Amino acid sequence: MLERLSWKRLAGELFLFCLPALIIGIFFGHYGWLLFASLLAALGWNYYNQLKLSHWLWLDRSITPPNGRWSWEPLFYGLNQMQMRNRRRRRELGQLIKRFRSGAESLPDAVVLATEEGNIFWCNGLAQELLGFRWPEDNGQHLFNLLRYPEFRSWIQNREFNRALNLQLNNEHYVEFRVMPYSEGQLLMVARDVTQMRQLEGARRNFFANVSHELRTPLTVLQGYLEMMEDAKLEEPFRSKALDTMQEQTRRMDGLVKQLLTLSRIEAATNIDLNEKVDMPLMMSMLEREVQTLSSGRHEIVFRINDKLQVFGNEDQLRSAVSNLVYNSVNHTPTGTRIEVSWQQTPLGAQFQVSDNGPGIEPQHLPRLTERFYRVDKARSRQTGGSGLGLAIVKHALSHHNSKLDIMSEVGVGTRFMFTLPQRLVVPANKATPSRVKDSK
């Protein structure tokens, strides 16, 4: 380990340069000239090493400095050590920056670093996706050039960073902006996509408004009749009519509450066991008897069932899905309509279909049919006791089985509701339980 340069070392080196002159002077004299020559040699040696150092600093591409001798050795060695420390620090700094960027890229929010004047000098990938920034093309661009919203400009210029700013961007996303000082002369802007939160909040408000509206009507009817009974004694047949109406409204509220509980249970079921074997042919046979009773001969109902086609899934949710689809066809089509129910194997998996030749549904209603409480004909739905929750239950039940509801309808031709369970949920024929029903037509 070399020691740092000292006055002793420099004096010793100068003495070594002068020692040959002193020895020669003993024999030949001329001490002055010999010492002058020794000093010139020492000066030339130092100039030579200075040139080596200058060449290494400005021209040489090698990382390590040149080798030195005597007093220059600790200098070159010290430079080498300094180079190694700088390289280590640069490597550590590079790793720190890499970890910072990796962490910033992993954040669920858009992150933008800008100067205090608003010029961008870094942003993460989510900022490019959510805010439409381009990196590194937008390096040095001002925020106002990329986010051209008057509210945003006013918010930044007034330095109102103690509150968040909520904006609806041109890409239809709702974004919450927050800005905070990052370091001296720099700002950190965080943008969070709150679109789903806004949609959920809107859905929650609509849900409670719809539930309140649906329950208010039967409760108003019950309250009115009860007040009439309290004020006067009702005579027949008005008394029987009042009791029948109250029972009907009670059943309607009971059905609404049951469907709300079913929908809530299906939505809350995050971990569905898809290894349970479901005997769909048996379920279809029971459903056929139920809908024949419900129809009371008003419809021509045909069931086409593959009695060997069983699936894996949740039996309660699949029963809710198929029964709601079939009940809807019976309840919402006029007398004389032909309804066909099919459960068959296809190349894509197990397919369920309910089709009818009823009046059909207008195209503008189709995208919204699976929304809670959405009804095409509100007056008819109230007459039949429909709550507008059946297709919402079907939608959520199928989503747990990696499937979705397809609706095809044409006015004056008819309507078809269909879903297909993927092939991996179909029970192989050699593992299927022998069915207790046969094809029915």
pLDDT value of position 384:
47
The alpha carbon dihedral of 51, 55, 58, 62 has a sign of negative
Q: Which CATH entry fits the domain spanning 202-268: 3.90.79.10, 1.20.120.790, 2.170.190.11, 1.10.287.130?
A: 1.10.287.130
Q: Could you please state the CATH topology (level 3) that the domain comprising 277-431 is classified under.
A: Heat Shock Protein 90 (3.30.565)
- What's the confidence (pLDDT) of residue 305? 93
Write out the E strands in 241-337. Answer: 277-278, 300-305, 311-312
Two structure tokens written together for 314: 């949740």
Q: Which CATH superfamily is domain 107-193 in?
A: PAS domain (3.30.450.20)
Q: Is 236 helix (H, G, I), strand (E, B) or coil?
A: coil
Are both 107-193 and 202-268 of the same fold?
A: no
* SS3 category, 249: helix
Q: What is the pLDDT of residue 300?
A: 92
| pLDDT value, residue 206 | 66
Specify whether the CB–CB gap between 331 and 370 falls below 8 A: no
pLDDT along the chain (441 residues), means of 10: 66 77 75 80 83 79 74 78 84 80 77 90 87 88 91 90 90 90 86 85 69 73 77 72 80 76 70 83 92 89 92 90 90 91 93 92 87 64 58 87 91 92 88 54 40
Is there a contact between 310 and 281 (Cβ–Cβ < 8 Å)?
A: yes
Give me the half-sphere count of Cα atoms (radius 13 Å) on the Cβ side of residue 250. 9
Within 8 A by CB and 6+ apart from 368, the residues are 374
* Geometric angle at alpha carbon 355, from 251 and 421, rounded to 5°: 90
Q: What is the pLDDT of residue 379?
A: 47
Burial of 415 (0-12, 13-18, 19+ CB in 10 A): buried
Return the pLDDT at 421. 94
d(CA 31, CA 25): 5
Domain ranges of the chain: 7-93, 107-193, 202-268, 277-431
